[in-house]
């Protein structure tokens, strides 16, 4: 996000030469603003992601309205039903991205202890977040397709390209409006980074407090702020280290670092390979346990929903770890080196090596937390005499 924000500033606001002092300062400050938002008490820190979400919805609404005005004056790119036909390459390429975009909405329960009525607020927040995200993804994407030829769409840059196109309806005000939009876009990126930092760090801290991550040192919450300051600082240091390395590597080194960074991010997706089966199993194994956030379906219905989600997660995980294999299995061409900048052998060596290192780190952290687990004495529900069959 820091790199994307810097690129946005450089292109639309003021030039930032890559590797310059200003470039370094901007990216580091970007990271540590999100860290400060996570360190602040939830009552204060939440306003960065909240204001960012409000600005995001407002910006997208303004963009869609402007697109309608532009279409009425200039027409739109011709689209047919065939343009929306799914392809195997499109499916395999987009599944990890789409899944990642919709993961984490349930993470708000990590702050349930600071809510007045979490049993009511958490389910409602998850539903509203998912619905809002769906609208904010689908409507702007359709608007972009209407005004930008498909061959000219370049990932996230396609949004600002489309914005620049439709803002032409405002005449001389188009350029300052585009610069203002870029500022808002950077703020939105920062707010999203803060939101992930707030939620993920709390989850990591609770894991450490339960004795599953290096002896509980990172499981301490600040008495006054109520936030996991140690984990927040750790996240900031790790993010800064990755930033500094990424700024130095070039050529093949940059491609390899990109592979390592991609699979490190994808571990969030991979974690659901364990989370979903565990949720399904725990619901039927301990049916008498209080469940404030229980999904209002039968156990069998919950299992069907869970295994359906698991199938998508499995597909996305396979594509993330072994890209190109399913494409070739179905006879599709996959230019591996053109996409990743390295051979498939090199990709798999560094991907599997990164996953192996992270698994080893988790194992060591779990072993080091044995003393904490013994002291905490996590309550274990009584096992029913007979395994429930429903």
Tens digits of residue pLDDT in 37-72 = 888 877 777 788 888 888 888 888 888 888 888 888
The residues near 198 (Cβ < 8 Å, ≥ 6 apart) are: 37, 38, 42, 45, 46, 49, 111
This prediction's pTM:
0.71
Could you tell me the residue ranges of all domains in the chain? 1-237, 249-375
Q: Which residues contact 254 (CB under 8 A, 6 or more apart)?
A: 246, 341
Tens of pLDDT along 352-378? Answer: 888 888 888 888 888 877 777 777 654
**Confidence band, pLDDT 50/70/90 cuts, at residue 90:** low
Give whole-number Cα distances, 150 to 88, 131, 143, 353, in Å. 18, 26, 12, 37
Residue of 130 and 281 predicted with greater confidence: 281
In this structure, what token pair is assigned to residue 276? 């979903």
pLDDT of 386 strictly over 60? no
Which pLDDT tens digit goes with each residue over 282-320?
A: 888 877 777 777 777 888 898 999 999 899 888 888 888
Give 227-265 pLDDT, tens digit per residue: 888 888 888 888 888 788 777 765 556 666 677 667 766
In whole angstroms, give the CA distance from residue 365 to residue 345: 30
Contact at 8 Å (CB) between 385 and 285? Answer: no
Q: Give the chain's largest Cα–Cα span.
A: 76
pLDDT of amino acid 388:
40
- What is the H or E stretch that residue 58 is in? helix 47-74
% of the chain surpassing 90 pLDDT: 2
Residue 176 is given by DSSP the state: H
Which of 75-84, 93-102, 213-222, 329-338 ranks highest by mean pLDDT?
A: 329-338
Return the DSSP state at 202.
H
Does the pLDDT at position 190 exceed 60? Answer: yes
pLDDT at 155 over 60: no
């Amino acid at each position: 996000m820091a790199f994307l924000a810097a690129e946005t500033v450089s292109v639309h606001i003021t030039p930032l030469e890559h590797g310059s002092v200003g470039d370094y300062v901007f990216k580091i400050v970007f990271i540590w603003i999100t860290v400060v938002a996570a360190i602040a008490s939830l009552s204060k820190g939440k306003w960065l992601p909240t204001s960012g979400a409000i600005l995001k919805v407002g910006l997208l609404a303004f963009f869609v309205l402007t697109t309608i005005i532009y279409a009425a004056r200039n027409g739109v790119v011709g689209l047919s039903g065939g343009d929306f036909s799914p392809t195997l390459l499109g499916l395999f390429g987009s599944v990890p991205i789409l899944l990642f975009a919709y993961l984490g909405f349930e993470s708000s329960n990590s702050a349930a202890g600071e809510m007045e009525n979490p049993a009511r607020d958490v389910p409602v927040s998850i539903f509203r977040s998912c619905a809002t995200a769906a609208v904010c993804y689908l409507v702007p994407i359709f608007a972009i397709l209407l005004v930008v030829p498909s061959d000219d769409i370049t990932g996230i840059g396609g949004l600002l390209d489309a914005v620049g196109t439709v803002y032409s309806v405002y005449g001389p005000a188009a350029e300052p409006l585009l610069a203002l939009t870029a500022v808002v876009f950077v703020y939105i990126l920062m707010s999203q980074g803060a939101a992930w930092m707030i939620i993920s760090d709390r989850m990591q801290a609770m894991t450490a407090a339960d004795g599953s991550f290096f002896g509980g040192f990172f499981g301490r919450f600040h008495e006054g702020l109520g936030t996991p300051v140690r984990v927040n600082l750790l996240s900031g240091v790790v993010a800064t280290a990755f930033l500094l390395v990424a700024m130095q590597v070039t050529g093949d080194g940059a491609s390899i670092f990109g592979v390592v960074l991609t699979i490190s991010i994808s571990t969030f997706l991979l974690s659901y390979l364990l989370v979903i089966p565990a949720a399904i199993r725990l619901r039927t194994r301990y049916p008498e346990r209080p469940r404030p956030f229980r999904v209002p379906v039968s156990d069998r219905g919950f299992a069907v929903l869970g295994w359906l989600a698991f199938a998508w997660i499995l597909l996305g995980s396979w594509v993330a770890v072994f890209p190109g294999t399913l494409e070739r299995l179905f006879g599709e061409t996959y230019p591996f080196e053109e996409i990743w900048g390295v051979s498939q052998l090199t990709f798999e060596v560094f991907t599997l090596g990164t996953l192996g290192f992270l698994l080893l780190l988790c194992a060591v952290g779990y072993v080091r937390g044995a003393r904490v687990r013994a002291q905490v004495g996590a309550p274990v529900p009584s096992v029913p005499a007979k395994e429930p069959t429903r």
